[in-house]
Amino acid sequence: MRLVVDASTLVGEMLRDRGLVLFASPHLDLYVPARMWDETRHEVDRRLRIRVGRGLPEAVAARYWEAAVRLKEQSVAEVPEELYEDLKDEALSRLPRDEGDWQVVALALALGADILTADKDFFGCGVATWTVDTLISQLQRRGLSPFS
């Protein structure tokens, strides 16, 4: 299954054991716009620092960071804007409430991919959307679940 992952979903799942397992599934082809990966890296680091401030041991935070980076390198393809920027106007016309996410829609259109998100701004944009829970359910139903 080919999916473009929006930044908030990528951040959230990179900080969960569930997400680390799911995103490593060989049944998923995951993509992220290059700018979104920069945002994701910054936000994952910020959230881990907050958790350390609340008592998470530094060593545990470091392991999550390393797992997140390894996951991205092995499982999530970062796509440069040049490959989908010609679809910017089309993507913007499909996102009347949040123009900041045009790259996700443009990349999905360019790749013929669905979008993995919990952001309701993507719903109804003309590209199929999946939530993480629904994706896991479908993988389980098809016997492709990475979870035991």
> Which tens digit of pLDDT belongs to each residue from 35-73?
888 888 899 999 999 999 999 999 999 988 898 888 888
Looking at residue 71, what is its pLDDT? 85
Q: Is residue 146 part of a domain?
A: no
CATH value at residue 56: 3.40.50.1010
Q: Is residue 96 part of a domain?
A: yes
Find residue 76's DSSP bridge partners. Answer: 30
Kindly report the pTM of this predicted structure. Answer: 0.90
Question: What is the count of structural domains for the chain?
Answer: 1
HSE-CB at 130 with a 13 A cutoff on CA atoms is 21
Q: Is 125 a residue whose pLDDT tops 80? A: yes
Using alpha carbons, list the distances in angstroms from residue 140 to 14, 81, 146: 20, 33, 8
| pLDDT confidence bin for 148, thresholds 50/70/90 | low
Q: Is residue 147 part of a domain?
A: no
Q: Is residue 11 part of a domain?
A: yes
Q: Is residue 38 part of a domain?
A: yes
Domain span at 76: 2-141
Q: Is residue 74 part of a domain?
A: yes
CA–CA separation, 74 vs 24, rounded Å?
Answer: 8
